[in-house]
Amino acid sequence: MSDEEDGEMSAEAFYDKVIPSAWIGMLDLCHDLMMRLGDKARWWKKPRRTCATHLPKRKRKSFRSQPTMKESKVSNEIIPANSTPQGVDRQRGYKTDRTRALWRLAQSAVKQPGEALVSTAVVCDGRRDAVVMASRIRLGRVSTVNNALADVNATGKMEAWAEEHHFGHTIGVRFLPKHPPGRLNAPYEVPSRPTLQAREAANQ
């Protein structure tokens, strides 16, 4: 035989023996995989059925019954408040227990001008804190006191100093109103400057 005939015979042997054997092996592999997947599916299916018997059935909601994202956002935007204010709060600025007490102290000082007053609700952390607060009040840098005076249309000077009481360090205040002058200068004519003719007439 020549080399070409040997090559043809080897190709025929490949197609007659190797390819059919490969197909049979692949079919066996697929069959084994299907059997194993079936066993796994039956093994997973049994616990799921057991759990489903103990869980409550959920009602299926239609897609149309669910609100859209825009509708749910609008409906959840406005909710009731936790508290209802009593009366009208005219205080401006930060509203804490200390600032509210300072607001009431400043307006009480305006109602009692010249009287030195303190508040048991205005308690400082220490003497340094009281001295700093009193200094800021005298310089007009405490907006709570300034707004309290402007609320009652009070014009004057607010004095403040640090004090120590049985309840702790605090500040004392005293309001000195600024009264307009009660006596006005009477109008008068400004004398004219004498001229040379007026002097001669006066000397005659």
User: In angstroms, rounded to a whole number, what is the distance separating the alpha carbons of residues 119 and 134?
Assistant: 13
159 near 110, Cβ under 8 Å?
Answer: no
φ/ψ of 168, rounded to 5, equals 130, -170
Predicted TM-score (pTM) of the model is: 0.47
- Give the pLDDT of the chain (204 residues) as one tens digit per residue: 455 555 555 777 766 777 777 788 888 888 888 888 877 777 666 655 555 555 556 655 555 555 565 555 556 777 777 776 655 566 766 688 888 899 999 999 999 998 999 999 999 999 999 999 999 999 999 988 998 998 888 888 999 999 999 999 999 999 998 865 555 455 545 555 556 666 666 665
User: In angstroms, rounded to a whole number, what is the distance separating the alpha carbons of residues 113 and 110?
Assistant: 5
pLDDT in tens, 141-170: 998 899 899 888 888 899 999 999 999 999
Distances (CA, A) of 130 to 24, 122, 149, 170: 98, 10, 20, 6
Name 152's Cβ contacts closer than 8 Å, sequence gap at least 6.
107, 110
Distances (CA, A) of 79 to 67, 75, 82, 161: 18, 9, 9, 46
